[in-house]
Amino acid sequence: MMNREEVLRWLHETDPTRLADLYARADAVRRECVGDEIHLRGLVEISNYCLQNCAYCGLRRENIAVERYRMSDLEIMDCVQEAVRRGYGTIVLQSGEDYGLETGWIADLVRKIKAGTSLAVTLSLGERFPEELAAWREAGADRYLLKFETSDDELYERIHPALPNRAYSRKGLLRILKDLGYEVGSGVMVGLPGQSYQALANDLFLFREMGLDMIGAGPFLPHPQTPLGQDATYATLPPEEQVPATEEMAYKVVALTRILCPNANIPSTTSLASLNREAGRRLALQRGANVVMPNLTPGTYRLCYEIYPEKLCFHEDPDFEHAQLMQLFADLGRPVGKGPGGRPVDIAKGKESSL
C-alpha cells in the first residue's frame, strides 16, 4: 500500500523513467486484480436539462446558449437495442439533474430494459431524492454514478452553488446509494482551478475509504460559457499548489487510483480521450483503466450534451468509433469483457494486491 507522502511525491513527479515505473506498476495491479478484459458500457445522454449551476459545466442552468432536449422512451430503447447488438454488457443512462425525468417514468424504463435484455443498468441522473433512488433500485437498476468532483468542501461549495432545501450532501447520497445495494461509482476532475495537491491526495484516499466500485477521473477542460472557463481568477491558488489540468496528471491519477483501489472498475474517460485523441484512450487503459464507455446518444442530441468543448464523440461516427475500439483492444491484446462486468467478487473479500 502507498502512504500519503508517497502519493504526494508521485503527484509531483515529472521524471519520465520514474513515471514509467508507476504506470507499469498500475498496469500489473490491474491485470492481477481485475484481469485483461475491457468492459464496454454504452452511454446514452437522455436529457441535458439541468437544475444545477456548476461553475465548470457547459450544461449549467444559466447557460442559455444550450439547446435543451429530453429523449423519448422509444428513442432510448433504440439505443438500448444498439448496445445489445454491439455486445455491450451495460447501458448507462446519464442526464443533468432533470426533474422532468419523472421517478415513475425512469422506473418503468429500467424495468423495460431489465425485462427485455440481460444488460446491467447504470443510472447517472444527478442528486435525486433517496425515495427515488430506492424506487429505481427496486425497478432493477444495478449501479449509480455520482461524482463528488473534489473532496475539498470549500472548493466544492465555491464551484457548485448549493440549491435551497437540500437535505443531503453529495457524499451523503453516495452512502445512501451503497446502503440501497447499488454498485456505486464516483470520481473527480483533475486540475480544477483551486484544486491543490493536498486536496487531490485526499480525493484518492477518499476513493479507497468509500470502497467505491467504480472510479472515474478525467482532466478539467474549460468551457467558454462557464464562470470557470471565463474568469481566470474565479478560484486561484499559488502556482506551486495548483494541480495542472494536464494529460499527464490525469494518467497519474488513474494509475494511483488503481494502486489504491485495486479491484475497482476504472474507465478510460472521454475527457482524457478528448485531450489526446490519438492515444489518450489507449494510454489510460495501459495505466490502470479497464472500462470504456462508448457514446450511443443519437447524433442530433449528442452535440447538445456539451459538458466541455470538443468532446471526442462530437467528431466520431458511432460505427467507426466501435471499429476503432475493437482494433485498439486487439492491438493491446485485451479481450472485450463478457457479461455485465460488475463489481469483482474480490471487493467483498477485501483482497489486496501483492504488488
Interface residue list for ligand SF4 (CB under 6 A): 50, 52, 54, 57, 59-60, 96-97, 126, 307
Out of 57, 121, 139, 215, name the contact with ligand 5AD by CB under 6 A. Answer: 57
Rg (CA), the chain: 19
- In the numeric block, the cell 435543451 is attached to 68
Q: Based on the number of CB atoms within 10 Å of its own CB, is 271 exposed (0-12), middle (13-18) or buried (19 or more)?
A: buried
Q: Please provide the DSSP assignment of 181-205 as one string.
A: T-EEEEEEEES-TT-BHHHHHHHHH
Q: How far is the CB of 96 from ligand SF4 (least distance, A)?
A: 4
Pick the closer one to ligand 5AD by CB: 91 or 221.
221
Which range of residues in 66-74, 172-180, 202-210, 219-227 is near ligand 5AD by CB under 6 A? 219-227
Pick the closer one to ligand SF4 by CB: 68 or 208.
68
Q: How far is the CB of 159 from ligand 5AD (least distance, A)?
A: 10
**b/e per residue, 257-269, with b = 16+ CB within 10 A?**
bbbbbbbbbbbbb
**The three grid cell numbers given for residue 237, joined into one nine-digit string:** 491558488
Q: Binders of ligand 5AD among 180-209, rule CB under 6 A?
A: 189
Q: Does 56 bind ligand 5AD (CB under 6 A)?
A: yes
DSSP-derived letter for residue 347 is H
Q: How far is the CB of 85 from ligand SF4 (least distance, A)?
A: 28
Residue 60, binding choice from ligand 5AD, ligand SF4, none, Cβ under 5 to 8 Å by partner class: ligand SF4
Q: Does 271 bind ligand 5AD (CB under 6 A)?
A: yes
At 295, give phi and psi (nearest 5°): -85, 125
Residues with Cβ within 8 Å of residue 290, at least 6 apart in sequence? 30, 34, 35, 37, 38, 39, 265, 266, 337
Which residues here bind ligand 5AD, judged by CB under 6 A? 56-57, 147, 149, 189, 218, 220-221, 223, 271, 307-308
